[in-house]
Amino acid sequence: MSAESRFPKSVYSAGEEPDARFTLSNERTFLAWMRTAIALIACGIALQLLGQQLHEVMRMLAAVALVLTGIVLAVAAWFSWMRTERALRRDEPLPRTPLGLILSISVAVSGALLVAAMLL
């Protein structure tokens, strides 16, 4: 399959085809971030629907934080996959990713909101 027929062209037109193991590893990492994003969205929805005994405003803020983080994580995972794949194809050092920081901050904020919701 030629680089012209593969999506996204901005990735596959760069450099040379890397070892397939690296490309597949990058894809598995992307899929793991997507599973995490889906789980965050599901947790936010479940919290809003099932957490009726918690403080309403705090519960809503925590649920919204989880869902928004899931959305941001899904989009950021795509761009991280593209940057990493491009670096692999160009034989460059792998780029840094903000995904871990995004996830850590969001989970900490959501957890703090839930503690507050349980105490109020």
Tell me, rounded to whole angstroms, the distance of Cα 52 from its chain centroid. Answer: 28
Q: What is the pLDDT of residues 12-60, one digit of tens each?
A: 888 899 999 999 999 999 999 999 999 999 999 999 999 889 999 999 9
Q: What is the pLDDT of residues 65-108, one digit of tens each?
A: 999 999 999 999 999 999 999 999 999 999 999 899 999 999 99
Q: What is the pLDDT of residues 54-72, one digit of tens each?
A: 999 999 999 999 999 999 9
| Domain ranges within the chain, ordered by starting residue | 20-119
For tokens 């599973």, the residue is 35
H helix runs in the chain, sequence order: 9-12, 20-50, 56-90, 99-119
**HSE-up of residue 44 (Cα within 13 Å, Cβ side):** 22
pTM of the model: 0.87
